[in-house]
Chains A and B, each alone.
Chain A
């Protein structure tokens, strides 16, 4: 029996109270009645429920040079996460029970966070034939989120079938909304900057048209739909319309689309190359407002590690994607809290409670409540410091936030009652094994 006492944290940014963790659960006992194995002085810190990421690329199997389940789990813990959803675009693709069970087991073995495998919608992400959706749902991994992320399920009929078939097993399709024919060779947001740089434009309509089609398909067949990484003002408008109409759609925004703009492509640094691309300041504002008014439900990182080689050459040769687990909460603080758009309860909702609900992760429905599983993040919102690579804890360093001054720091992460981050540092794997 391990007992942790957390002293003086502001619960969800509100009242100051102590939290007592006994044997992995948040206990109702007063701290005077227990013998603490560990006391955390959390005065001035904000206690949040452990964060849940619905969109993480852990790269294993097949991409171990950029990330593994273990290293990605450490990055997640460093960012205050206690659960992540591992995207299916691995090699081999997670389109069958064997791969998702392997990823599940690697997550358990790593021990830093709950790793929830996402299953592919189509075999090998080819967009032609459905993957083993039922087998993955019935596997030990209990897959409930299905996505071809990295690719769009572009064919309308196949998308319709996918929505129907996935709902048979109570799951949800998470769509990477990108019309492939409108984005052949596309490199960055289409607009003045793409014209100036001579990079092939990626029009907003390529995202918006798929979302519009998919919400109507979801309505027609009565299925749930989740929209990945919403990046344009038009997409927010389409989603707002769909929700008003009563369509069961949820949507996510990434931290980078909440803060960064297309202008960063000037200079051709591939650190800023991402799919969907960074958009305009007006889009960033619309995505923020969409999140604040509930049109967008959650923040998801789209943590996409890449090796230095993959991010070193010319813009067109470089890989799409940026790491984001470690920086997500500080970026949310900057883009949402400091702007007055959200309070800490809202952050807990969009970064923990709701993503857990969409992903079907148990134990997150009553954040910080007595009796709940002790998944807790302690965050110091005050220090405003340049974001540097030494804050990264995964295998890759392709963070677009480097040298930006960002507020706050994750001080402590507690996963199922165990500290995975202590005093701002990820604890050693050997310690977690004990």
Chain B
């Protein structure tokens, strides 16, 4: 594996192997056992054309934990925007010695375009491309699900029999897409709960069951509810009318949590809009995996960087 662009192209064996590698990294970090040998002497460039402090920091911590040097380029918020050519930026960073480029970009397909174009020879990791994919997020999510539901016997196993509801703005969500593909590949059943205005066309054709409201989806007794961050600007563009209506029909609230089975979990990729897509009582409950997801994110990104840069294991 030279690049990590998409969960859609992972087969089941690769996906399980990455989950297992994530587990190894998580154990190593938890026991403070040094893993600083993997990528010693290598340089990883974090290239963020779109602001995401959390993802950027997570990749930085992961890279340093593996002994790599990190350089960071961010253009969001600066005067550099459209005029800054993706091609020229990447070529510059490669010339500075970047062995791998972790790319966050506002446009769908940017990471795939970089790989196809052959502009640079570096490894490319997709850290989120527009409304397309966020594959390391899906990996950490799938790992979190496997840990929580299968516990200590989870190594080597897939997610057959697990049912997951993804709730919220699936239309604009790269997290939803990457999860949909990865979880399905791992054998989980994935359904979607969202207003129809936020459901992309053709989900049924992709084998995804769709529910209009979260209550309908919860009646199917899922073991995992994955809530998505909702952007407030979706109201002004008419996808839904206001916050109270959103939380009434699609918010993950305490009464809804009570409808779930004993071991069911609630996930959120962060940052959360408390009181909108998830209530504080749910977010801070024992059923919430929000902080575990952050911890697991470092391990998952270590696993990915090690896999693509560390040669064949």
Q: Identify the A interface with B (CB < 8 A).
A: 187, 190-201, 267-269, 312-317
Contacts and interface: CB of A to CB of B under 8 A. Distances in A.
Given A192-B205, A197-B132, A198-B174, A314 B200 contact: no
Contacts of B177: 196, 198
Interface in B85-129: 85-87, 105, 107-110, 112-113, 116-117, 129
Contact of A313 (B86, B132, B206): B86
Report, nearest first, the 8 A-B pairs whose CB atoms are least far apart: A198-B132, A192-B202, A268-B109, A195-B200, A198-B108, A198-B131, A316-B107, A314-B107
Interface string B146-176: 0000000000000000000000000000100
B200 A194 contact: yes
Given A196-B206, A314-B105, A315-B107, 9 more contacts: A187-B108, A192-B202, A195-B203, A196-B202, A197-B108, A268-B116, A269-B116, A313-B113, A315-B108
B236 to A, nearest CB: 12
Contacts of A314: 86, 105, 107, 109-110, 113
A156 to B, nearest CB: 21
A50 B105 CA distance: 48
A190 B203 CA distance: 12
Contact of A199 (B82, B105, B108, B203): B108
Contacts of B108: 187, 197-199, 268, 315-316
Contacts of A201: 200-201
A198 B106 CA distance: 11
B19 to A, nearest CB: 24
A187 B87 CA distance: 21
B172 to A, nearest CB: 9
Of the candidates A194, A314, A315, the one having the most CB atoms from chain B within 10 angstroms of its own CB is: A314
Contacts of A267: 112, 116
A322 to B, nearest CB: 18
Interface string B162-202: 00000000000010010000000000000000000000111
Contacts of B116: 267-269
B133 interface: yes
Contact of A316 (B130, B174, B203): B130
Contacts of B200: 194-195, 201
Nearest to B106: A316
Contact of A268 (B85, B112, B201, B202): B112
Contacts of A200: 131
Contacts of A198: 108-109, 129-133, 174, 177
A362 to B, nearest CB: 46
Given A314-B107, A316-B107, A195 B113 contact: no
Contact of B87 (A194, A313, A316): A313
B109 A315 contact: yes
Contacts of A316: 107-109, 130
Contacts of B113: 268, 313-315
A269 B302 CA distance: 31
A423 to B, nearest CB: 37
A268 B130 CA distance: 13
A200 B171 CA distance: 9
Nearest to A315: B109
Nearest to A198: B132
Contacts of A193: 202
Nearest to A317: B107
B263 to A, nearest CB: 32
Nearest to B112: A268
B87 A199 contact: no
Contacts of B203: 195
Nearest to B87: A313
B202 A195 contact: yes
Contacts of B205: 192
Contacts of B110: 314
Contacts of A313: 85-87, 113
A315 B117 CA distance: 12
Contacts of A312: 87, 117
B105 to A, nearest CB: 7
B180 to A, nearest CB: 10
19 contacts: A191-B201, A195-B202, A196-B177, A196-B202, A197-B108, A198-B109, A198-B131, A198-B174, A200-B131, A201-B200, A268-B108, A268-B116, A314-B86, A314-B105, A314-B107, A315-B107, A317-B82, A317-B86, A317-B107
A193 B112 CA distance: 16
Contacts of B109: 197-199, 268, 314-316
A192 B206 contact: yes
A58 B85 CA distance: 27
B153 to A, nearest CB: 34
B118 to A, nearest CB: 12
A191 B206 CA distance: 11
Contacts of A315: 107-109, 113
A317 B201 CA distance: 23
A309 to B, nearest CB: 9
A373 B131 CA distance: 55
